[in-house]
Structure 1
């Protein structure tokens, strides 16, 4: 592209110089010949004034010296050369001047100016001044050479300026191309820089916006995959273990095992709905079937997590009063957040896990506490990917996202021991 810009500028400069130089060359030629004719006429007139009328009686005539490249001569009425230089017999211009008019003529490679010499309103002779056209052409060619030199210098300057401007115009586009190549190679952090050229900056801004949106979309897809994997792994494991236990344990109540499996599958279905809802960034509808009594939500969570915690020799305790347990909350979202907090206590905590419910009037507070201490500070604990244990660092970040979509809030409210608090606004107090 840089070469194209230079070529375009060079063609434009060349056309402009040609359109300027050709008329100027014509003007120079016309002006030089016109000036030379004017000089010849002035020389002839100045000589005619100094000619004495007595030359007709045979007196000698002294003419002023003419220019070195020209001729000046005095002719009498018989058309013979009486003084100066010139052809021996008068030429046609000199003959016409005997009629009493100034005559200018170009003939035989000469410029001629003939001026009559008068006495008592009678022509007594003619002064002829002449110069070869070669001398005029020499000066014209010298002027044309100077004009051509000037044009070439101007063209050279135009080329230098065009190359500089081409670099200034193409460098941002080349940088934008390199940025696009880096993005295509996988560097989604690459961004086009500003160059102070409005049109190119507009393209760079649109490019950066497009890359930002694509990056967000890709991150959204990655988060969705990670969220789905994180949330489905635990209930699937529980479902598998429950079914295996029902098959391998003699005397197991198969109906109870099937009912438990169905309950797990319903929980899996709710989990999928919640992850999809989070991926679409849709707010949770706080009315209708999505609401469930918080007491039921806690009891379902106890049934899901009592076994895994007991297997490790740990207890799960619920603390709430009946009045608070009868209040409605977004059931599926609260289920998912409780699963994340209980899974976090199971993986990273120690001792007894206590789930407490408090009625704050405008909101319900669900506390999930264990007897361990957090290894991350409050600012980093909800950052996606931040973990010091075997986990992936997704759970708590996902819990905060789920809470945000539901209009709730979650925070690390205690560190000795660890306690997370989920605040669920009540209807009319969100």
Structure 2
């Protein structure tokens, strides 16, 4: 493209120089020829005037007296009645510029100049025009190279930016080039890069959230199936299978919620529900796992509370807190329910060492973990709580007390 821009610029310049150069040559040639003719005419008029004045004064018309009246490189022939013609200078050979003047008494003066002198003058003028044209071409070459570099370098840079976007590097470059059209393209590429970066971040976040949120119910479902395999009692198998089916339904709810959050993370589907039922269901699901570790999970506090939220999301938040206590805590785990103002609270606590002092509230940040885990669980749980207008907080670091705050159902009447 750089070469094409230089060639096109030079082509335009050469066309312009050719048109104006030829016009200038024609005009200058005509001007020089006219000027030479006028000079010869003027000399002929002056010479005939001198001859007439000498005749009137009775002076002789001789070559010696008139020799200084003719210019160098010119020829003059003077014809006077009653005497032989007088010739001054050398008669030019070939093409000549001629002027003939006749006096009142019949005298005649002819002045000639070789056309070669005019040709030499025209040649010198052509050399000057050609030199100016060459300088113009050189200047055009320099300007074309600079202009091509000024335009092709940004285009090359923009092509590299587009290639980076295509290769999965969505970082905007924020470069501008002082050319409105190119700056507009750069703006569009930067905007596209930012959109792609947001989309990639959302996709990565969805993948991470999905892997984490699905792991907890799948783990619980796996433990329930192990219970079924381990027993030979039909009633126990039926009971465990019914619980497993409930877990599958909740797993389906988790998947649906993940898809909904991928479109709008702040979208909730809050309804009034029985909090005791969700707490009981979570305790039943995690009891076998705690029993296997020689630990226990229990509940306490005010019964019969009705909260406002999404039951599946609340169950997922509680499952995350219970699983964290199983993995990182120690001793028995307790789920305590209480009422504060127009909110109901579920507190999850264990008897372990709690949250390290250097983490504190940062424990809810993504990728922040003090126990070599992914650092996603509490961050995802907080997002789930906030989607329905609730909140998840760390009330106490040692022993750890995590509290899920939910809206309380207002009784009409």
Alignment of structure 1 residues 139-178 onto 2, 5 Å: 139-178=121-160
Provide Cα deviations, 1:226-265, integer angstroms capped at 9, x if missing partner: 2222122222222222222222234462221112211211
CA distance, structure 2, for counterparts of residue 346 and residue 192 of structure 1 = 48
Provide Cα deviations, 1:309-353, integer angstroms capped at 9, x if missing partner: 343233434343236x12333212212222222222322333443
Question: Once the 2 structures are TM-superposed, how far is the Cα of residue 225 of structure 1 from its aligned partner?
Answer: 2.5
SS at match of 2:363: coil
CA distance, structure 1, for counterparts of residue 33 and residue 250 of structure 2 = 107
CA distance, structure 1, for counterparts of residue 148 and residue 361 of structure 2 = 50
Report the counterpart of residue 18 of structure 1 in structure 2.
Answer: 18
Structure 1 unmatched runs, 5+: 89-106
Alignment of structure 1 residues 329-368 onto 2, 5 Å: 329-368=309-348
Please point out which of 264, 267, 270 is paired with 1:281.
264
Alignment of structure 1 residues 214-363 onto 2, 5 Å: 214-251=196-233, 253-281=236-264, 283-287=267-271, 291-322=272-303, 325-363=305-343
Provide Cα deviations, 1:36-85, integer angstroms capped at 9, x if missing partner: 11222222223333323429885425223533332334233589632423
Q: 1:110 to 1:423 in 2, by over 3 A?
A: farther
Question: Once the 2 structures are TM-superposed, how far is the Cα of residue 415 of structure 1 from its aligned partner?
Answer: 2.6
Question: Once the 2 structures are TM-superposed, how far is the Cα of residue 108 of structure 1 from its aligned partner?
Answer: 4.9
Q: Which segments of structure 1 move beyond 6 Å, counting only runs of 4 or more?
A: none
Question: Once the 2 structures are TM-superposed, how far is the Cα of residue 378 of structure 1 from its aligned partner?
Answer: 4.5
Question: What is the aligned length?
Answer: 402
Alignment of structure 1 residues 14-163 onto 2, 5 Å: 14-51=14-51, 52-54=53-55, 58-61=60-63, 62-63=65-66, 64-76=68-80, 81-85=85-89, 108-117=94-103, 122-163=104-145
CA distance, structure 1, for counterparts of residue 83 and residue 94 of structure 2 = 19
Report the counterpart of residue 99 of structure 1 in structure 2.
Answer: none
Q: Tell me whether 313-322 or 325-334 shows the greater mean CA deviation.
A: 313-322
TM-score by length of 2: 0.86
CA distance, structure 2, for counterparts of residue 163 and residue 174 of structure 1 = 16
CA RMSD, 1 decimal:
2.9
CA distance, structure 2, for counterparts of residue 59 and residue 203 of structure 1 = 89
Q: 1:59 to 1:30 in 2, by over 3 A?
A: closer
Q: 1:133 to 1:404 in 2, by over 3 A?
A: farther
Contact 1:284 1:406 in 2 (8 A): yes
Contact 1:113 1:128 in 2 (8 A): yes
CA distance, structure 2, for counterparts of residue 363 and residue 128 of structure 1 = 127
SS at match of 1:124: coil
Contact 1:293 1:329 in 2 (8 A): no
Contact 2:44 2:110 in 1 (8 A): yes
SS at match of 1:322: coil
CA distance, structure 1, for counterparts of residue 298 and residue 341 of structure 2 = 24
